Amino acid sequence: MSGTTIPRLVDAAAERFGDHEAFVDGDQRWTYAEYRDRIHAAARALMARGIQPGDCVAVWAPNTAEWAVAALGVHCAGATLIPINTRFKGREAGDLLDRTSTKVLFTVTDFLDTDYVALLNDAGAGRGLEETIILRGTIPEGCTSWDVFLEAASTVDDADRADRSAAVGPDDRCHVMFTSGTTGAPKGAMLRHGAVCRAFLSWTEVIGLRADDRYLVVNPFFHAFGLNSGILACLLTGATLIPHPVFDVPAVMARVAEERISMLPGPPAIYQTILNHPDLADLDLSSLRLAVTGAAPVPVPLIHAMRDTLGFETVITGYGLTEASGIATMCRHDDPPEVISGSSGRAIDDVEVLVVDADGDEVPRGEPGEVVVRGYNVMAGYLDDPDQTAEAVDADGWLHTGDIGVMDADGYLDITDRLKDMFINGGFNVYPAEVEGQLLAHPDIAQVAVVGVPDERLGEVGMAFVVATSGTSPDPADLVAWARAEMANYKAPRRFEVVDALPANASGKVLKYELRERAAATSA
Question: Which pLDDT tens digit goes with each residue over 18-51?
Answer: 999 999 999 999 999 999 999 999 999 999 999 9
Domain ranges, ordered by start, for the chain: 29-179, 247-418, 424-523
Using alpha carbons, select from 88, 289, 288, 74 the residue that is nearest to residue 185: 88
Using alpha carbons, select from 111, 127, 47, 32 the residue that is nearest to residue 79: 47
Helix/strand/coil (H, E, C) string of 58-106? EEECCCCHHHHHHHHHHHHCCCEEEECCCCCCHHHHHHHHHHHCCCEEE
Per-residue pLDDT band for 191 (boundaries 50, 70, 90) equals: very high
Average pLDDT for 141-154 = 97
What is the per-residue pLDDT across 229-239, written as a single tens digit (0 to 9) for each? 999 999 999 99
Using alpha carbons, select from 461, 407, 466, 464 the residue that is nearest to residue 430: 461
Using alpha carbons, select from 242, 237, 245, 247 the residue that is nearest to residue 271: 247
Q: How many CB atoms lie within 10 A of CB 233?
A: 25
What is the per-residue pLDDT across 239-249, written as a single tens digit (0 to 9) for each? 999 999 887 78
Average pLDDT for 170-198 = 86
Q: What is the pLDDT of residue 259?
A: 96
Q: What class is the 29-179 domain?
A: alpha beta
In whole angstroms, give the CA distance from residue 315 to residue 306. Answer: 8
What is the per-residue pLDDT across 344-362, written as a single tens digit (0 to 9) for each? 999 999 999 999 998 999 9
Q: What is the pLDDT of residue 509?
A: 75
In whole angstroms, give the CA distance from residue 168 to residue 77. Answer: 9
The domain covering 247-418 belongs, at the CATH homologous superfamily level, to: ANL, N-terminal domain (3.40.50.12780)
Q: What is the pLDDT of residue 427?
A: 63
What is the per-residue pLDDT across 101-137, written as a single tens digit (0 to 9) for each? 999 999 999 888 889 999 999 989 988 999 999 999 9
- Residue 506 pLDDT more than 70? no
Helix residue spans in 410-507 (DSSP H): 432-439, 476-486
In whole angstroms, give the CA distance from residue 107 to residue 127. Answer: 15
In whole angstroms, give the CA distance from residue 42 to residue 137. Answer: 19
- Residue 312 pLDDT more than 90? yes
Half-sphere exposure of 509 (CA within 13 A, CB side): 18
DSSP class of residue 211 equals T
- Residue 97 pLDDT more than 80? yes
Half-sphere exposure of 522 (CA within 13 A, CB side): 13
Q: Does the pTM of the predicted model rise above 0.85?
A: no
Q: DSSP labels for 317-371? A: EEE--GGGTT-SEE--TTS-HHHHHH---EEPTTEEEEEE-TTSPBPPTTS-EEE
Q: What is the pLDDT of residue 223?
A: 87
Regarding beta strands 144-145 and 131-136, do their DSSP bridges make them parallel or antiparallel, or are they unpaired? parallel
Burial class (CB in 10 A: 0-12, 13-18, 19+), 131: middle
What is the per-residue pLDDT across 459-501, written as a single tens digit (0 to 9) for each? 789 999 999 998 999 999 999 999 988 877 878 999 999 999 9
Q: What is the pLDDT of residue 487?
A: 77
- Residue 183 pLDDT more than 50? no
In whole angstroms, give the CA distance from residue 433 to residue 297. Answer: 7
Distance of CA 339 to the CA centre of its chain: 22
Is the Cα dihedral 28, 30, 36, 38 positive or negative?
negative
Q: What are phi and psi of 216, to 5 degrees?
A: -85, 110
Amino acid identity of residue 250, one-letter, is P
In whole angstroms, give the CA distance from residue 21 to residue 55. Answer: 32
Average pLDDT for 396-420 = 88
Residues 6+ apart with CB under 8 A from 117: 107, 109, 132, 134, 140, 143
Q: What is the pLDDT of residue 96?
A: 93
CATH number for the domain formed by residue range(s) 424-523:
3.30.300.30
Decide if 247-418 and 424-523 have a common fold.
no
Share of the chain above pLDDT 90, in %: 67
Q: What is the pLDDT of residue 283?
A: 84
User: CB–CB of 76/40 below 8 Å?
Assistant: yes
Q: What integer best gives the mean pLDDT of the chain?
A: 91
Q: What is the pLDDT of residue 182?
A: 42
- Residue 181 pLDDT more than 80? no
Per-position b or e across 276-306, b if 16+ CB within 10 A of its CB = bbeeeeebebebbbbbbbbbbbbbbebbebb
- Residue 330 pLDDT more than 80? yes
3-class SS of residue 140: coil
Average pLDDT for 258-284 = 87
In whole angstroms, give the CA distance from residue 501 to residue 320. Answer: 25
SS3 content of the chain, % helix, strand, coil (to 5): 35, 25, 40
Identify the residue with better confidence: 267 or 285: 285
